[in-house]
Amino acid sequence: MLGDSLSAEYGLPRNSGWVALLAARLAKEAPQYSVVNASISGDTTSGGLARLDPLLQRHHPAIAIIELGANDGLRGLRIDAMQANLQAIIDRCRANKTRVLLVGMRLPPNYGASYEEGFHAVFVELARRNRLALAPFLLDGFADRLEWFQADHLHPLPQAEPRMLDNVWLPLRPLLRGQ
């Protein structure tokens, strides 16, 4: 699991985030898999790329779940740079014979329609071009429910974490079967 604060349990009690819930579900439904959560709050696609090679060498993952880009977007970084970083992450995972699940993100509307649409299109385009599994939007089903978010309106509360897991689980299941 290579992600940012949304996967690193920012503001949540330890072992209550969606990645911990994923580990628990895998223990029951696919015990041949375990989870290494290499998510860091505040991480960007360039940070994830910089950290990736040692993680691949150390853990030799069968599957990498990539949940990065939100901080690139929130900082207004160039979309083409984010796309290039994500493509490099995908390429390095594949060179390591690691299957990839890409987790998409959307930005709040205050960034402008053009930037927001271009930002989200990166995830869809990368998944299409690379024939990857895609979870289209990690916060799908509750992004517009402020009562499901911490005071910063960016980080979900514990009640949202099972929904985030469900948003990832559906496209992850075929990868667990080696498809």
| Catalytic residue IDs | 5, 152, 155
Buried (b) or exposed (e) across 80-111, using 16+ Cβ within 10 A?
eebbebbbebbebbeebebbbbbbbbbbeeeb
Alpha-carbon distances, residue 147 vs 124, 153, 155, 162, 163 (angstroms): 28, 9, 11, 15, 14
- What length is written for the chain? 179
Residue 2 Cα distances to 75, 84, 141, 152, 159, angstroms:
19, 16, 23, 23, 22
